Structure formats: C-alpha cells, structure tokens
Amino acid sequence: MATATATITVDPYPFGFNDTLNWRIIYGTIAIQASPAQYATGGLALSWAGILGNLFGSKGDGTNAGTPHIVYIQSKSPQNSTLYTYVWNSSTEKLQIFYAGSAVSTPEAEFPNATNIPANVSNDVIAFEAHFLRV
C-alpha cells in the first residue's frame, strides 16, 4: 500500500496569516489521505514549499519560507480530542500521529508502520499554526 499524504490548506484571507516584523504566522488545516493509504514510521511528510510564496509573492523580504520555526497542531473535532494527538517533528519535518493508550496509566504511542489510516483521522479537521522566521 502507499504511504498517506498530508495536504496543507491555508485559511482564507484575512484569517490565514499574521505578518509581523520578525515572523510570518500561517493558520490553516491539514487533511490526511484515507485508507487504504498507510502511516509510515516517523510520520507523514509536510511540504511547506510554496506556502509563503503563494500568499505573499516574492517580496524579497528574507522570509525563511522553507522550514517553519515551530508548528502547533491540534484536532478541532471533539470526538478526536482524546483519541489522537498530532505532533510536528521539527527534526524530520513530519507530522506524527499518536493514539491514546487503553488505560489511564498507558502513555500514548505512535501509530505503527503500515497502519491503515483510520476514518477518524482522515475525516478529522486538523488545525495548524506555523511560525516562519523572517531573517
């Protein structure tokens, strides 16, 4: 089976960004491809290429458009708020998915390799906030 893809969509103007002196902060959602697509160990690749260029054009202001400094990700669906946790791994630039343990004392664990993407994940509304440093 193929590895699932994660697609970034920026919220429409004026809600999709905050342009400050030192930062460009982008807001939007991430959609994850449904099963039979599968999760890959270490997470799903997130491509930020072109996100800032599409929003702001080439202003030549030195924005580091390649990699966000930090990304916050969370489910906006109440039914998923305790089932799945979404984490951006800055060292690999991937979206990792963790699921709740079977007991209160059991910690969350990352999806195993080649796990089919559950409907609760592919149908989830996953919000993000990404901070890009302007240099």
Q: What's the pLDDT tens digit per position in 12-62? A: 888 888 888 888 899 999 999 998 999 998 999 988 876 766 655 555 455
In a domain, 55, yes or no: yes
Burial of 58 (0-12, 13-18, 19+ CB in 10 A): exposed
In a domain, 77, yes or no: yes
Query: For the stretch 21-30, what's the b/e string if a residue is b when 16 or more beta carbons lie within 10 angstroms of its beta carbon?
Result: eebbbbebbb
In a domain, 1, yes or no: no
Question: What is the domain extent for residue 31?
Answer: 6-133
pTM of the model: 0.84
The reported pLDDT for the residue numbered 39 is: 95
C-alpha separations of 25 from 4, 51, 55 in Å = 26, 11, 11
The reported pLDDT for the residue numbered 37 is: 93
In a domain, 86, yes or no: yes
Count up the domains in the chain and report the number. 1
Specify the 3-state DSSP secondary structure of 126.
Answer: strand
The reported pLDDT for the residue numbered 106 is: 66
| Average pLDDT, integer, range 61-90 | 79
Specify the 3-state DSSP secondary structure of 52.
Answer: helix
In a domain, 101, yes or no: yes
Task: Give residue-wise pLDDT tens across range 90-119.
Answer: 999 999 999 876 656 567 889 889 999 998
The reported pLDDT for the residue numbered 43 is: 94
In a domain, 23, yes or no: yes
The reported pLDDT for the residue numbered 63 is: 52
In a domain, 47, yes or no: yes
**Whole-angstrom distance, CA of residue 118 vs CA of residue 33:** 10
